[in-house]
Amino acid sequence: MKLLITGGTIVTSEKTFLSDVLVTDEKISAVGKNISNDNVDNIDATGMYIFPGAIDAHVHLDLPTPAGLSSDNFETGSIAALYGGTTSIIDFVTPSKNESLVSAFEKRLKEAKNSKTDFGFHMSITSWNKDTAKEMEVCVKQFGITSFKTYMAYKGLIGIEENELKEVMKTAVKLNALVTVHCENGNEILKLQKNFIYSGKTAPLYHALSHPSYVEAGSVKRVIELAEETGCPVYIVHTSAKESLEMIEEAQSKGQAVYSETCPQYLLLDDSVYNLPLPDSLKYVISPPLRKKEDQRYLWKGLKNGSIKVVATDHCPFNLKGQKDSGINDFTKIPNGAGGIEHRLSLLYTYGVLKNRISINQFVAVTSTNPAKVFGLYPQKGEIAVGSDADIVIWNPVPNNIISAKTHHQRCDTNIYEGFTTKGSPGYVIKKGKVVIKNNKLFSKDFAGNYLKRK
């Protein structure tokens, strides 16, 4: 099967140029002008951009919580991702404390079998025991899992102690793997939460107030110190606070391998939403919480100067009815998370590229090329070049859209970007050489995503 895309403007993380692209079966087989067009299907991409398929390196589909599973499963979430131009995702294996990493991986692989995008996993280390180091090695060498997730928050559940994180880091160094960290001081959060609940302060606003910026930044500082001590590269997920990014930038300026990720919600929403009346305020309960406008400005600056490497979504939706509202009388019972897998590109294109906060090449870098490089998928993913997978987004810069839970494809009764206007959307999404989305319509469900072994 051959597919020729003509007349489009290719945008990579480094260059913007007019060129045709030839796809043969699942791969890009030629990039250039005047490619011979015998016996090929043709797509006219005149006036459109050609991006490498986007990679969302931080999603939680089918995540078990006391309020039930996150509302998108691998099929619905990955389809929503494709509608928005994301063709690969990295989700998580989250073993319960002392569960074998290997059996948790095998279970998770089955849960993900209906994914329509290609998918990989970060392995969460939720406790440390005598088998963990050995099992981490199996993850890297046999399963192609090259990144481990740790939580400084969620103490007593999946969070670990500093001495355990240090063991994870030491082992990761030996395995040439990356450690990713949710930086928030869990003990401090628990203390603040208890005080608020004790004095009858139960509204979502107190979720935000029990996760102040200093709780994140203090944890970032400690994690950077441990990473320096052990020589381990670290990736700070969902950086939300200015203070945190300042510390990350300081470490980067000394040459330390500290990567930073942020998410559209921290760039585009602020903490004023916690003053909305119930039940609306429930939907913004995420960790870390939304911050101030000043934090947003600093994060945009970080994207522009490159100190933030990746924009992912932390997609973890819950329905307002029946899930989020289980904490209507106690903010500690509200499941933490919100959806966003579908709108990352349109939001970042509209509010980043079109507002001149980042260049279009930086847009491609943070949504596709950088996550591919950081997480061991490059150049199979994240590039428009001969030999790369033919995961391609043909971006139409013209259409205007309004985001709404009524029209989105995420399986959730609410959307934190409700009413946001966007400009630009995928005209075509091509996954491994197959057109799966055309003019905002899913062609068929007759295709499957593949598990991504990373290097």
- Residues at the interface with Zn ion (CB under 5 A): 314
Number of Cβ within a 10 Å radius of residue 404: 12
Q: Which residue matches tokens 């055309």?
A: 438
Question: How far apart, in whole angstroms, are the C-alpha atoms of residue 93 and residue 4?
Answer: 38
Beta carbon of residue 64, minimum distance to Zn ion (angstroms, whole number): 14
Of 243 and 314, nearer to Zn ion (C-beta) is 314
Beta carbon of residue 20, minimum distance to Zn ion (angstroms, whole number): 39
Beta carbon of residue 356, minimum distance to Zn ion (angstroms, whole number): 30
CA nearest 349: which of 268, 288, 409, 411? 268
Q: For residue 281, how many C-alpha atoms fall within 13 Å in the half-sphere facing its CB?
A: 21
CA of residue 34 relative to chain centroid, distance? 37
Of 6 and 180, nearer to Zn ion (C-beta) is 180
CA nearest 416: which of 194, 266, 248? 266
Q: Which residue is nearest to Zn ion (CB)?
A: 314
The beta-strand segments (E) located in 36-105 are 41-44, 49-52, 54-56, 86-93
Of 240 and 326, nearer to Zn ion (C-beta) is 240
Of 193 and 287, nearer to Zn ion (C-beta) is 287
Burial class of residue 65, CB neighbours in 10 A (0-12, 13-18, 19+): middle
Of 150 and 425, nearer to Zn ion (C-beta) is 150
DSSP labels for 113-142?
TT-SSEEEEEEE-----TTHHHHHHHHHHT
Task: List the beta bridge partners of residue 55.
Answer: 88
Beta carbon of residue 198, minimum distance to Zn ion (angstroms, whole number): 28
Q: Which two tokens stand for residue 6?
A: 């003509």
Which amino acid appears at position 76 of this protein?
T
Of 158 and 392, nearer to Zn ion (C-beta) is 158
Beta carbon of residue 77, minimum distance to Zn ion (angstroms, whole number): 13
Q: Contact, 310 vs 352, CB < 8 A?
A: no
Q: Which two tokens stand for residue 311?
A: 């924009």
Of 314 and 325, nearer to Zn ion (C-beta) is 314
Our CA dihedral for 380, 372, 375, 104, rounded to 10 degrees, sits at: -70
Of 153 and 251, nearer to Zn ion (C-beta) is 153
Of 60 and 411, nearer to Zn ion (C-beta) is 60
Q: Is the dihedral of CA 125, 64, 405, 437 positive or negative?
A: positive
Beta carbon of residue 210, minimum distance to Zn ion (angstroms, whole number): 18
Of 62 and 314, nearer to Zn ion (C-beta) is 314
Beta carbon of residue 286, minimum distance to Zn ion (angstroms, whole number): 9
Beta carbon of residue 340, minimum distance to Zn ion (angstroms, whole number): 11
Q: Contact, 57 vs 452, CB < 8 A?
A: no
Any idea what DSSP says for residue 300? H
The helix (H) or strand (E) run that includes residue 169 is: helix 162-175
Angle at CA of residue 369, ends 366 and 375, nearest 5° = 95
Beta carbon of residue 15, minimum distance to Zn ion (angstroms, whole number): 32
Beta carbon of residue 296, minimum distance to Zn ion (angstroms, whole number): 19
Per DSSP, the three-state class of 38 is coil
